[in-house]
A = this chain, B = another copy of it.
Amino acid sequence: MDRPRHQGMAKNTNLRWRLPLVCLLWEVAMIVLFGVFVRFGAEADAHWEEEKREMNLTSDMENDFYFRYPCSCTVVAALGSPWTSALGTSPTQAGVKQQQCLRAALVTELTDPPLCIAFQDVHVMIFVGFGFLMTFLKRYGFGAVGFNFLLAAFGIQWALLMQGWFHSFKDGKILIGVENLINADFCVGSVCIAFGAILGKTSPIQLLVMTLFQVTLFSVNEYILLNLLHVKDAGGSMTIHTFGAYFGLTVTRVLYRPNLEQSKDKQGSVYHSDLFAMIGTLYLWMYWPSFNSAISDHGDAQHRSAINTYCSLAACVLTTMAFSSMLQKKGKLDMVHIQNATLAGGVAVGTSAEMMLTPYGSLIVGSISGIVSTLGYVYFTPFLESRLHIQDTCGIHNLHAMPGLIGGIVGAITAAAATEDVYGKEGFIKAFDFTGVYQRRTPSIQGGFQAAGIVVSLLMAFAGGAIVGAILKLPVWGDAAAEKCFEDDIYWERGGGHEMA
């Protein structure tokens, strides 16, 4: 299985008909499926105005309230129709309660970032962040940013459908709004992570095929974790990073190329390519607080996520620099570590950022993840390649897999250690959404479910990665021979200049 079946000059990398065929097929499928299933959500539909006034306005307001504050539903429901006369005139006892409710909603809203900001920030992370982070290879800049663009553009369409069927399906239609766009970007994030492992070794067709399957599996895994296990994972330590990274690592293991040292000289970076990659690093680093808080509950949880992530990332930079220097015999810093390990802090608080991790807890988690990630680049990546035959181009094992596991574990511990004392009685219920059928969950049970979430994500990643890897091994996708890897010339028409130096 380790011996590549199709190698050498004989490989046909001319994609003239295959790539257009797959692209157009995928796109036509999207159009048909969107035509059948996707409609504007209430907020984006032109009937909005009408509904607001022709329907019973009161109940519409309630709907909207539920729509925007799903987590507060129970509280609100318990109060009766809070919006009914909240702005109204009946000074009954009920009225007073309702006014309080309205006020609370207003205050929450007034201190909240609108979703659209988080959306644009996450969007930048997917397209510029991941795209440029991978431009570090000296001759693969076009492939890094261009193929990332291609797979993300397809992935968000397919994710809108897949996630829509699981989460926004009503009366045979998927109703989409801005929150769906954010979730689609999240889903595609896991594909971008997996792309990091196979960067430079696959054809764009393989990437499109992988995206199709990975988005599907991601949505299933996400549904199991969030809806069946009732796990909290706002920043996606488990659903995005652990799943995405181990999926990608399994795929690259199946696609193992024994002769890859033939293109060893092209696996390095040059001066410029490292600076381009720093654009990606910085945009990921700066907007990570938005990433981890984008789909948190409104209000305090969102603030907390942003602050925890910010603290963790800041600490991570210092420990990364420290270990990068310490592990090189002349004490010099290594750009690979600065570009990647500085981001591990964001991954490692993905699950727990919205919990009461506290700022110093975040500093500790960030510090540890920076150290682990840097050690990974120095010691673990060579080991994975030589012993386990896992060729991990971008080192996603160090940036996403290990910190993702740390994130999942920290999340489980933080959840298990939660007390009403720390969160407050209502804050506690709200933070973990211990309502309805989950009313009787205790923190330690929740911690157990969180741990189960890690295991499920890993199993899905290994099984899915093995199957998809096997599919990608079929000799029809136009991937290049080992000596042609990490080289833009195969798939890109180039004007001039042969490398970045």
> Would you call A440 an interface residue if the criterion is a C-beta within 8 Å of the partner chain's C-beta atoms?
no
Count of A interface residues, CB-CB < 8 Å: 159
Task: Report the bound CA distance from A492 to B38 in whole Å.
Answer: 51
Binds B, one of A97-105, A218-226, A240-248: A97-105
Shortest distance between the CB of A236 and any CB in chain B (Å): 20
Task: Report the bound CA distance from A320 to B304 in whole Å.
Answer: 42
> Would you call A178 an interface residue if the criterion is a C-beta within 8 Å of the partner chain's C-beta atoms?
yes
- Take A150-B317, A286-B123 as given contacts and tell me if A15 and B47 are in contact as well, using a CB distance cutoff of 8 Å: no
**Pair A358/B50 contact, Cβ less than 8 Å:** no
Q: Which of A90, A490, A492 has the most CB of B within 10 A?
A: A492
**Pair A497/B270 contact, Cβ less than 8 Å:** yes
Q: Which residues of B contact A165 (CB under 8 A)?
A: none
Q: Which residues of B contact A14 (CB under 8 A)?
A: 330-331
**Pair B427/A49 contact, Cβ less than 8 Å:** yes
Task: Report the bound CA distance from A4 to B257 in whole Å.
Answer: 55
Task: Report the bound CA distance from A181 to B322 in whole Å.
Answer: 24
Task: Report the bound CA distance from A112 to B64 in whole Å.
Answer: 13
Q: Which residues of B contact A363 (CB under 8 A)?
A: 27, 30-31, 34, 157
Q: Which residues of B contact A47 (CB under 8 A)?
A: 423-424, 427
**Pair A27/B319 contact, Cβ less than 8 Å:** yes
Shortest distance between the CB of A368 and any CB in chain B (Å): 11
Task: Report the bound CA distance from A299 to B40 in whole Å.
Answer: 13
Task: Report the bound CA distance from A146 to B275 in whole Å.
Answer: 10
**Pair B497/A44 contact, Cβ less than 8 Å:** no
> Would you call A228 an interface residue if the criterion is a C-beta within 8 Å of the partner chain's C-beta atoms?
no
Determine the residue in chain B with the shortest Cβ distance to A148: B282
**Chain A interface, >50% SS class:** helix
> Would you call A375 an interface residue if the criterion is a C-beta within 8 Å of the partner chain's C-beta atoms?
no
Q: Which residues of B contact A127 (CB under 8 A)?
A: 282, 285-286
> Would you call A73 an interface residue if the criterion is a C-beta within 8 Å of the partner chain's C-beta atoms?
no
Q: Which of A110, A142, A270 has the most CB of B within 10 A?
A: A110
Binds B, one of A333-341, A381-389, A397-405, A456-464: A333-341
CB within 8 A of A360: which of B35, B321, B323, B493?
Answer: B35
> Would you call A201 an interface residue if the criterion is a C-beta within 8 Å of the partner chain's C-beta atoms?
no
Shortest distance between the CB of A209 and any CB in chain B (Å): 14
> Would you call A116 an interface residue if the criterion is a C-beta within 8 Å of the partner chain's C-beta atoms?
yes
Q: Which residues of B contact A492 (CB under 8 A)?
A: 332-335
> Would you call A213 an interface residue if the criterion is a C-beta within 8 Å of the partner chain's C-beta atoms?
no
- Take A23-B319, A116-B113, A493-B334 as given contacts and tell me if A360 and B49 are in contact as well, using a CB distance cutoff of 8 Å: no
**Pair B335/A40 contact, Cβ less than 8 Å:** no
Q: Which residues of B contact A68 (CB under 8 A)?
A: 110-111
> Would you call A475 an interface residue if the criterion is a C-beta within 8 Å of the partner chain's C-beta atoms?
no
**Pair A431/B275 contact, Cβ less than 8 Å:** no
> Would you call A425 an interface residue if the criterion is a C-beta within 8 Å of the partner chain's C-beta atoms?
yes
**Pair B91/A49 contact, Cβ less than 8 Å:** no
**Pair A307/B181 contact, Cβ less than 8 Å:** yes
Shortest distance between the CB of A393 and any CB in chain B (Å): 14
In chain A between 9 and 43, which residues have their CB closer than 8 angstroms to a CB of chain B? 14-21, 23-24, 26-27, 30-31, 34-35, 38-41, 43
Q: Which residues of B contact A54 (CB under 8 A)?
A: 425-426
Task: Report the bound CA distance from A391 to B299 in whole Å.
Answer: 49
Q: Which residues of B contact A116 (CB under 8 A)?
A: 113, 117, 306
Q: Which residues of B contact A23 (CB under 8 A)?
A: 318-319, 321-322, 325
Binds B, one of A80-88, A191-199, A445-453, A465-473: A80-88
Q: Which of A286, A318, A493 has the most CB of B within 10 A?
A: A318
A352-365 to B contact mask, C-beta < 8 Å, 1/0: 00001011100110
> Would you call A135 an interface residue if the criterion is a C-beta within 8 Å of the partner chain's C-beta atoms?
yes
Q: Which residues of B contact A499 (CB under 8 A)?
A: 271
Q: Which residues of B contact A424 (CB under 8 A)?
A: 46-51
Task: Report the bound CA distance from A106 to B68 in whole Å.
Answer: 13
- Take A17-B331, A103-B87 as given contacts and tell me if A269 and B307 are in contact as well, using a CB distance cutoff of 8 Å: no
> Would you call A114 an interface residue if the criterion is a C-beta within 8 Å of the partner chain's C-beta atoms?
yes
7 contacts between A and B (CB under 8 A): A31-B367, A46-B301, A49-B424, A54-B426, A120-B121, A156-B310, A181-B306
